[in-house]
Every structure is written in C-alpha cells, then in structure tokens.
A and B are shown apart, each in its own frame.
Chain A
Amino acid sequence: MQFKTMVISNAEVSPGYFRMRLTAPQEFAQAKPGQFVMVRVRDAVDPLLRRPFGIFDLGTFESEYPGAWPQIYFEILYRVVGKGTAMLSTLHHGDHLDILGPLGTGFTPAGPDTETILVGGGVGLAPLYYLAKEVVKSGRIRLFVGGKTQEDILCITEFERLGVETYVATDDGTLGASGLVTEVMERHLKGDVPSKAIFACGPMPMLKAVAEIARREAIPCQVSLEAYMACGMGACLGCVVKGRDHGEHTPDYRCVCKDGPVFDFQELQWV
C-alpha cells in the first residue's frame, strides 16, 4: 500500500539516533513485526531512491477530534548515516512523507512453549521491539543487545517495561558486559534446557556469529537482513542475497525486499 503520512514526533533518543512517529491508515494495523517501509524522504529527485526502515512500533492513539476513530501510528528508529537520514532528522511535527508498505515477510513468532531470544546489534534492534510487544503476551523473552559504545544501545528501558529480560554488551565496556553480544548470549544459553527460538537483526558479522551458534546448538533462528534497495517490491533485483542452494550453475538468489527481509537462517548461504 502507498500512503501519505504526517510526522507526529521525531526525537533524538541518543546522539545520532532518532525515533519518529508517523500516522498511518487503518489497514496498516495489519503490519507484522519484521516488515518494513520504503520512505520517500523528499518530494524531489534528490535523494532519488526511497529509504527502507523496519517498523519499530505500531499502535493507536486517541484522535484530537472528539468522536473520531483512534488513529493508527507507527514508528521508525533510525540512525543518521547519510543524506536521506540526515534530511529525515530535520523533520518536525506536521511535516509530510510518502510511504510504501508494509513490505516484505515478517518474523514468524515461536509457539507458546518456546522462549523467544532477541538479538540486536545497534540500530538493528529496531524491528525487535514490535516483535517483543506481540510475543510478550504469550511467553518469556530475553533480549541480547550489543553496540560499539553506550550511545549505540537504544531504547532498552522500553523493552524492560514490556517485561523483557535485557542483557547488554558493548565493545568498549561502557555499558553492560565488555565484548560481543554473541559471546554474552552464548554464555547465557549454555546448558539451558527449555526450547528456544532466536530472532536477530544487526550487522552481518553479528548475524553470522548468531547463525553459527544457532547451527551448533540446533536452535531455530530467523534473521532480518539489510541490502541496498531501489524498488522494495521484487522488481529491480538489486537487493538479492545468496540462498542455500546458490552455486555457479544453480542460481538461487533471494530478494531481501520480497522473500525477506526476514529469513530462516537455514535458507541462506553464510560463507
């Protein structure tokens, strides 16, 4: 679906990281955790392409107008890295944007007897919050989150408020354990009996380490990937990743935008 949206708020939650709340039409409420949107940053040819962002949160708020339907909103949590995100960071309440979405596949939540393990690296945390909100009703959740430094650890109080047990790791030890988030996760999961499922989003080296742990410990695992995108709907073939069966003579490319961004780790080639 394509729609015009209004910025409700756009706040810097940590240096260089912003959380933006946007209005959405009623149908958008069907968006699943792990799906994403393509944002037209400006009504101009620069920046040319839309920018993809995961859905950080989704909900409703009471309209300012008495008697009106509650208004659907969604949020994105983004890091300023270049031209498009820098422009987004200057927007204020009342500004307008054009959105395509929700796009892609979402996470498939684990069953009721399974513990949900969330693993986020930096702003890769974004799609995990909406997932946590959905599954917290039905079972135990633990979040392992990592970043270079304290300032890259975002919104953990929000997770804790939901009732998610949160474990932090930073490269420089300024917050939580010192080291990699995957090391912390591995320590905590060792010898743990109940059945678990991992949901991970973050930089590729982190996802690789998570996939390796999942393979070794035989834990089901879904990962959410990033790729450069032009269309977001499976038309340009710009965003592909190698699928499990990919070889020189057996092409098996999957579109991150349409077949993903969430994949079962066993569906992908990790080398």
Chain B
Amino acid sequence: MTKPEMSVEIAGFKMRNPVMTASGTFGYGEEFAGYVDLESLGAIITKGLSLKPRAGNPTPRIVETQGGMLNAIGLQNVGIDAFIEKKAPFFRTITTPVIANFFGNTPEEYAEMAERLDRIPEVAAVEVNISCPNVKHGGIVFGTDPKSAYAVVKLVREATVKPVIVKLSPNVTDIVEMAHACVDAEADALSLINTLTGMAIDLNKRKPVLANVTGGLSGPAIKPIALRMVWQVARAVSIPVIGIGGIMTAGDALEFMLAGATAVQIGTANFLEPGTAQTIALGMEQYLVDNGIADIKELIGTLEV
C-alpha cells in the first residue's frame, strides 16, 4: 500500500500530521530537541505567553494523583519581549509550525498580545487561553462566561490575520454554549480541553498539597471527559476542533478523531515520555496502513452512535 496521507489543515495552516504538543508541557520546543525529532510533529504550541513576564504561583506547584497530575504553575512565562528576543529565533531552525499560546488579564491585554504576535513571522497561528481570570470584572474567568469569551475572542480576531484557535475550559456547565460564543466571535478553530480544577490533600499535615490549594488536573484520568466534550462540540460547530486531554497512545488520539477532532494535542504524556508525540504520529500512520485507510481525514467525526 502507498503511504497514507497524514496531513491535515486547520484554518489555512497545514500540518504534516495531526499531532501537536500542548501548551505548558513542551516548553518552547527547544527543551525537547534532544529527545524527539521536532520535524516529526504536526505543530508545537508554546507555553502560555503574556505582555509582561509572570512569576507564577508559590510551590509546591505540581503533584501526582491517581492516573493524572495537578498543576498550579500560575502561568509563569518569560513575557512577549523575551519570547521574541530569546525563544523565537529557534523557530527559524525548524520547519514545524509554531503556535503561540497566550492570555491576558483584561480584554485589552488579549488584543494587544494578538497584535504583537501578529507581527512575528515565526508564529504560524495563535491559541487563545481563555481560562484566565478577568481582573477588571472581579476575577470571573473569561472562559466560563460566554459574553466575556465572545468579547475577548472578537478583539483578538480584529487584532490578527493569523489563524485564531480558542482553547476552551472544561470547568463550565455547558461547553457547547461556550463554543458557540467563540464561533460567533469568528474564531477559526477550537481546542479542548484545558485542565479540570481539582485538589489534593496531605492527610498527615492536614493541608492542601499545592500551595495554591487548587490546581488543574491533566493526564489519562481526564480523557473520558475530554472525549465527551470534543464529541459534543464537534457536532455543534462547523469549524475545526482540536482534541486534548489524557492522550497517551495513538489509539487515544484516533478516538478523539473519531469523536470529531481534526487534530490532537499531547500534554502530560510528554513528561513521562518526551518522545510521545512522535510515537503517536507513527502509530496513527500504522493504524491507517493496517486498516487500509488512505487518508487520515477520512476518520474525522465518523463515530457511529
């Protein structure tokens, strides 16, 4: 059989395969260069960026839980200026597209970030993290309120011509409502899910394990929830959906594609096996070969229910 077609396209940018690395789990790509062939990935997504460098939360920031981990990094990042100066030059040395994940504290900050990222040629697309509290509006998280989400995405949309992916929070009652708000604001694609809020307790100390008390749950434990949400959203909207949450194997990734995802992101799995994304891309291709499927796109959203 000839080599199956693995490439997919999201909002005008093409990837050699549907496997991307998730924000916050792959640094700025460079950190993993010695462990994985970066040229084997569909795309690399950066750590979440903000206008000013951000310190993040006190420690402990991470803890392992059954089948997953909690993190409360607090969006520590180098800031957009250091990103342009120190991190972006590396992207010129690879052909894999780089997507800048970013956030802001106010809608205006989101817009300014989008505008600045728009001028960076090394950035192929932007991913908007709306799981961030709106300091102007009493700290309510943009990503849990459809009106706030709409406002932010609209401003971002107007500030950049690059493809706009909006990353949805699962900590909502109705994720489809959030998805519709982002579509209405002319997002090009949706990625989901971000982490689920959780906590862990140290029984001996009778204290929370994380200094921040709560943190975001990721890893295999969240996969069933992520699959369900991707399935719900993909059925409801007509823009591409990117599946994220607990993907460890090629099989997991393919399940997300059946549920309606055009591409997937690998997060926590990068920590245990730095080469996971590459292994998954190869495994998906093998699945196509084994099942006589010529093009991976044939699988998208074909789940029979």
Residue numbers of A with Cβ under 8 A of B are: 1-2, 40, 45-50, 100, 227-231, 233-241, 246, 248, 251, 253
Q: Would you give the shortest CB distance from A3 to chain B, in whole angstroms?
A: 11
The reply to whether the CB of B102 lies closer than 8 angstroms to some CB of chain A is no
Q: At the interface with chain A, which of B48-56, B126-134, B180-188?
A: B48-56
Q: Which of A50, A234, A238 contacts B272 (CB 8 A)?
A: A50
The reply to whether the CB of B220 lies closer than 8 angstroms to some CB of chain A is yes
Nearest B residue to A50 via CB reads: B272
The reply to whether the CB of B64 lies closer than 8 angstroms to some CB of chain A is yes
Nearest B residue to A240 via CB reads: B59
Do the beta carbons of A230 and B34 come within 8 Å of each other?
Answer: no
Q: Which of B57-74 contact A (CB under 8 A)?
A: 59-64, 66-69, 71, 73
Interface string of B159-198 (1 = CB under 8 A from A): 0000000000000000000000000000000000000000
Inter-chain CA distance A241–B270, complex, in Å, is 23
Q: Would you give the shortest CB distance from B154 to chain A, in whole angstroms?
A: 31
Quick one: given A1-B34, A253-B76, are A45 and B67 in contact (CB under 8 Å)? yes
Given contacts A231-B270, A239-B61, 14 further A-B contacts (CB under 8 A): A48-B220, A50-B272, A231-B31, A233-B35, A233-B274, A234-B27, A235-B25, A236-B71, A237-B24, A238-B61, A240-B56, A251-B55, A251-B56, A253-B56
Do the beta carbons of A231 and B56 come within 8 Å of each other?
Answer: no
List 27 interface pairs A-B (beta carbons < 8 Å), by A numbering: A2-B35, A45-B220, A45-B272, A47-B64, A48-B67, A50-B271, A228-B63, A230-B71, A231-B271, A231-B274, A233-B27, A233-B35, A233-B274, A234-B27, A235-B25, A235-B26, A235-B27, A235-B270, A236-B73, A236-B271, A237-B24, A237-B61, A237-B73, A238-B71, A238-B73, A240-B59, A246-B55
Interface SS majority for chain B: loop
Closest 3 CB pairs of A and B: A251-B55, A235-B27, A238-B62
Do the beta carbons of A40 and B56 come within 8 Å of each other?
Answer: no
Do the beta carbons of A251 and B62 come within 8 Å of each other?
Answer: no
Do the beta carbons of A49 and B69 come within 8 Å of each other?
Answer: yes
Band of interface residues on B: 35 or more
Do the beta carbons of B66 and A46 come within 8 Å of each other?
Answer: yes
The reply to whether the CB of B278 lies closer than 8 angstroms to some CB of chain A is no
Q: Which of A2, A50, A236 contacts B62 (CB 8 A)?
A: A236
Do the beta carbons of B271 and A230 come within 8 Å of each other?
Answer: yes
Chain A residues with Cβ under 8 A from B67's Cβ?
A: 45-46, 48
Do the beta carbons of A48 and B55 come within 8 Å of each other?
Answer: no
Chain B residues with Cβ under 8 A from A231's Cβ?
A: 25, 31, 270-271, 274
Nearest B residue to A82 via CB reads: B64
Residue numbers of B with Cβ under 8 A of A are: 24-27, 31-32, 34-35, 47, 53-56, 59-64, 66-69, 71, 73, 76, 219-220, 248, 268, 270-275
Nearest B residue to A230 via CB reads: B271
Interface SS majority for chain A: loop
Q: Would you give the shortest CB distance from B62 to chain A, in whole angstroms?
A: 4
Do the beta carbons of A48 and B272 come within 8 Å of each other?
Answer: yes
Q: Would you give the shortest CB distance from B163 to chain A, in whole angstroms?
A: 24
Chain B residues with Cβ under 8 A from A40's Cβ?
A: 272-273
Q: Would you give the shortest CB distance from A7 to chain B, in whole angstroms?
A: 20
Inter-chain CA distance A253–B59, complex, in Å, is 10
Q: Would you give the shortest CB distance from B207 to chain A, in whole angstroms?
A: 15
Do the beta carbons of A45 and B31 come within 8 Å of each other?
Answer: no
Q: Would you give the shortest CB distance from B88 to chain A, in whole angstroms?
A: 17
Quick one: given A45-B67, A45-B248, A234-B27, are A228 and B56 in contact (CB under 8 Å)? no
Do the beta carbons of A49 and B271 come within 8 Å of each other?
Answer: yes
Inter-chain CA distance A227–B61, complex, in Å, is 10
Nearest A residue to B35 via CB reads: A2
Do the beta carbons of A228 and B61 come within 8 Å of each other?
Answer: yes
Chain A residues with Cβ under 8 A from B275's Cβ?
A: 2
Q: Would you give the shortest CB distance from B51 to chain A, in whole angstroms?
A: 14
Chain B residues with Cβ under 8 A from A2's Cβ?
A: 35, 274-275
Q: Which of B61, B66, B270 contacts A240 (CB 8 A)?
A: B61
Inter-chain CA distance A50–B64, complex, in Å, is 10
Do the beta carbons of B69 and A230 come within 8 Å of each other?
Answer: yes
Do the beta carbons of A251 and B272 come within 8 Å of each other?
Answer: no
Chain B residues with Cβ under 8 A from A230's Cβ?
A: 62, 69, 71, 268, 271
Chain A residues with Cβ under 8 A from B73's Cβ?
A: 236-238
Inter-chain CA distance A54–B47, complex, in Å, is 28
Chain B residues with Cβ under 8 A from A238's Cβ?
A: 61-62, 71, 73
Do the beta carbons of B27 and A228 come within 8 Å of each other?
Answer: no
Chain A residues with Cβ under 8 A from B55's Cβ?
A: 246, 248, 251, 253
Chain A residues with Cβ under 8 A from B268's Cβ?
A: 48, 230
Nearest A residue to B29 via CB reads: A235
Most central of A40, A227, A231 by chain B CB within 10 Å: A231
Q: Which of A47, A48, A100, A237 contacts B76 (CB 8 A)?
A: A237
Do the beta carbons of B270 and A49 come within 8 Å of each other?
Answer: no
Inter-chain CA distance A23–B191, complex, in Å, is 42
Chain B residues with Cβ under 8 A from A235's Cβ?
A: 25-27, 31-32, 47, 270-271
Q: Would you give the shortest CB distance from A106 to chain B, in whole angstroms?
A: 18
Inter-chain CA distance A200–B187, complex, in Å, is 53
Do the beta carbons of B34 and A251 come within 8 Å of each other?
Answer: no
